[in-house]
Amino acid sequence: MKQLTVLSHNTFWFQGVPFPTDRPPAPDVEVLKRLAAIYREVDPHVIYLQEIQGRETFEMVSEHLGMSGCYCAGTTHSQYGGAVLWHPHGGRQIHSSQESAVKTQRMWQTVEVKGDDYRLRICNVHLPSQRQLGGERAAAQRIM
């Protein structure tokens, strides 16, 4: 039986240290390179990531890994984006929070990845916690 390896990680915007707001600066390139080295060592077929601050960051990660993929910006807060990367075969985004009538603050995406002997459907979800939203906004998030 062939083994399929999937890696999931919240990148914390490739910062490595806390900062005072949820408006991340550009990724720290050294942090991005170190994380990419770990991802390459694990050698997954599919990687799904959360807290990707923009398409440019997604493209940097894709280039460092030599993997194709798709990016989804956060819905209300674009800096809470997500990405799915794959190799060696293809994939495609099927649906995401960007085109959904159900609005979320962050993101979710459904992606299909194909291999020689598998088809994998992945849902990458990154939603805020009630702690971060506060009571009133958390209640609104639940009913949206």
**Rounded to whole angstroms, how far apart are CA atoms 44 and 66?**
12
The model's pLDDT over 88-99, given as tens digits with 9 standing for 90+, comes to 778 999 999 999
Measure Cα distances from 54 to 13, 23, 25, 26 in Å.
9, 11, 11, 9
Looking at domain 6-143, does it have CATH number 3.30.200.20?
Answer: no
The model's pLDDT over 79-137, given as tens digits with 9 standing for 90+, comes to 999 999 998 778 999 999 999 988 788 999 999 998 888 889 999 999 886 665 556 66
Please report, for the chain, the start and end positions of each structural domain, with discontinuous segments joined by +: 6-143
For residue 1, give the 3-state DSSP assignment.
Answer: coil
The one-character DSSP state at 66 is: T
**Rounded to whole angstroms, how far apart are CA atoms 8 and 26?**
21
What pLDDT, on the 0 to 100 scale, is given for residue 140? 61
**Rounded to whole angstroms, how far apart are CA atoms 65 and 40?**
7
